[in-house]
Amino acid sequence: MAYSCNTANETLEWINAIIAFLKPFKPLMDAHVVNFFKDKLWESIDKQWMDCLCVEPVKNLLKLPSGVIQDHWPTSLKEFILTLRSLVLPRDQGDLRMMLPDLHTNSISSILAQGMNLKKKHEVEILAAIVKSVAESVGAQTIVDVGAGQGYLAQVLTFQYQLSVVAIDASSHHGTVTNARAGRIRKHYAAKMRKSQTETKELNIPQTLAIHVLSSDTLKALSDSIAHEDIIKDEMEIEPNKLSLEGLQDVGTHPPCKSEFKSSLVLAGLHACGDLSVTMLRTFLECEEVKALISIGCCYNLISEEGFENADSHCGFPVSFGVNLARFPLGKSARDLGCQSAERWRVLTKDAALQNFQLHAFRAAFQMVLHRYFPEVITRSPSIGRQGKALRRQQVRKVLKNNKACSTSSMDVTTESVTYIARCDIQYPDWYSLFEKFCESGLHRLGLIPCQGIDIRELWIQSEPFLELIGPYWTVRACLGPLVETLLLLDRLLFLQEKGSSVKAMMVPIFDPVLSPRNMAIIAQKL
């Protein structure tokens, strides 16, 4: 069945189909892969599936989250994958001109692109053009860049598209970096105009505000202030109980200028983190001066959720009435899973995939060490960071130093690839030796002193027979990630659609999903 989300009813039908599909797999979504060996997680997946996938080439496993099946697989596994993929939002970048006929995308100049990697340049180039098009269509004078980071989007909107921009971010350091960079860019353009003897005009720069946006009331109060030209100069942190314009003054801002002019605004957010993307949706609906919204979310693991810790009536999921009625909680593990990208899986090399599976295995085996010898630590959900990748890098340097036959110039020594093994035909040390170092590093990171009674080898021997299962298990679980993200995004879209004919909202994949996996933009306008 082909699903659509053009109306609230269609979106809700799609959402209900997703929830019905996910319910039987809730234990798989809730599982922590660190407990793979401790809880024998592989037993929760159909044995026929595991037996099949354990002998499958890695390249076929990597295609699994994209919905690619093999003829010889069990029928139930093929049905699982095909049904799942039919429920996932299409992510391929489409023809944006079909959705936004007035869109004109221009390349970013070299001075504006300085400091941007390929991913950021791709995102800013497209999003800036969309913001410009939407702002013109609603007659908005000012753009509010929410979660502006280092101001790349704000600066392109200001210097390339001559828009008035207010960039807000919780980090005062980001504001300082944005201002310094904008100053350099303004000098460049001023010098260029003088050299070409063109008429010198005033070059604006984005206004930056360091504000912790803790609620939609906070962002609404700020939007109201900007719309009335009460531009706030000071760095501040707004508490939830200081939400009005008077509240803004109370935390040290300049008094409002009481201008009679009211500017209309567009809210734009490029990967506004966690609840911030949802806060933008609420502000769009609640603030009269905000005429349009372009929001690309990320960090689903950081959103608050009804019924979970730190959740309130303004939680990040669910936000729509329809999903609220379904009473289907996700939980942090499932939201973590929603950050998986089928496109990124598909382009992984075999060696990079095997490395990732191995790191999962090491962390799960290390959990066995903690469970047996440091059980009190388990309750704190310990995090040891990227210890495995750090050890890999160290091992690469050691192997390269000791093996004169290999040419360092031909080797890819990134944290995401181990292609140097295949190219140089180097015999890698036994996995136990590397795991032993992993445990030493992990214990040190947690501030734990190994006692003499710890038998790491015994726990490794217990885990080793099941190492081959962790790759297939993690792959099957990762297949659910794009569907979890689809549910989160459709919930946000439905939230806007439930407002009826006063709002026009759509969801569009605006970026190349390989370059930018979080590529779905919610674009909304008030009618």
Exposure class string for 302-317: b at 16+ Cβ within 10 A, else e: ebbbbeeeeeeebbbb
Closest C-alpha to 61, from 483, 512, 513, 478: 478
Which pLDDT score, from 0 to 100, does residue 61 have? Answer: 96
CA distance 495 to 377: 40
Exposure class string for 79-113: b at 16+ Cβ within 10 A, else e: ebbeebbebbbebebeebeeebeebeeeebeeebb
Structure tokens at 137: 């269509």
Q: Which residue has the tokens 């959705």?
A: 99
Q: Are 236 and 252 in contact (CB under 8 A)?
A: yes
Q: Each residue of 146-163: pLDDT tens digit? A: 998 889 999 999 999 999
Q: Are 291 and 138 in contact (CB under 8 A)?
A: yes
Name the 3-class secondary structure at 450.
coil
Q: For 347-464, where are the alpha helices, taking DSSP H only?
A: 350-373, 375-378, 387-402, 419-424, 431-445, 456-463
Name the 3-class secondary structure at 96.
helix
Q: Which residue has the tokens 């000071």?
A: 234
In this structure, of 55-64, 386-395, 439-448, the range with the lowest mean pLDDT score is 386-395
Q: How many residues does the chain have?
A: 527
- The structure's pTM equals 0.85
Determine the residue type at 226. I
- Alpha carbon separation from 321 to 208, 238, 325, 326 (Å, rounded): 35, 28, 6, 9
The average pLDDT across 361-371 equals: 94
Closest C-alpha to 3, from 369, 396, 514, 489: 489
Q: Find the radius of gyration of the CA atoms of the chain.
A: 26
Angle of the 481-497 helix axis to the 467-479 helix axis, nearest 10: 20
Q: What is the arrangement of strands in the sheet containing 142-146, beginning at the earlier edge strand?
A: 207-210, 164-169, 142-146, 265-273, 290-298, 520-526, 503-509
Q: pLDDT averaged over the chain?
A: 83
Q: Each residue of 286-318: pLDDT tens digit? A: 999 999 999 999 999 999 997 544 444 578 999
Which pLDDT score, from 0 to 100, does residue 18 have? Answer: 98
Name the 3-class secondary structure at 291.
strand
Q: Are 287 and 262 in contact (CB under 8 A)?
A: no
Which pLDDT score, from 0 to 100, does residue 214 have? Answer: 64
Closest C-alpha to 284, from 235, 223, 329, 193: 223
CA distance 467 to 477: 16
Domain ranges, ordered by start, for the chain: 96-234+261-335+481-526
**For residue 340, pLDDT beyond 80:** yes
Structure tokens at 18: 């997703």
Q: In a 10 Å sphere around its CB, with 0-12 CB exposed, 13-18 middle and 19+ buried, how is residue 367 labelled?
A: buried
Residues of the chain above pLDDT 90, percent:
59
In this structure, of 247-251, 316-320, 467-471, the range with the lowest mean pLDDT score is 247-251
In this structure, of 78-92, 100-114, 479-493, the range with the lowest mean pLDDT score is 100-114
CA distance 90 to 482: 10
Q: Which CATH class is domain 96-234+261-335+481-526?
A: alpha beta
Q: What are 164's strand-pairing partners?
A: 142
Residues of the chain above pLDDT 70, percent:
82
**For residue 172, pLDDT beyond 70:** yes
Closest C-alpha to 283, from 199, 225, 337, 363: 225
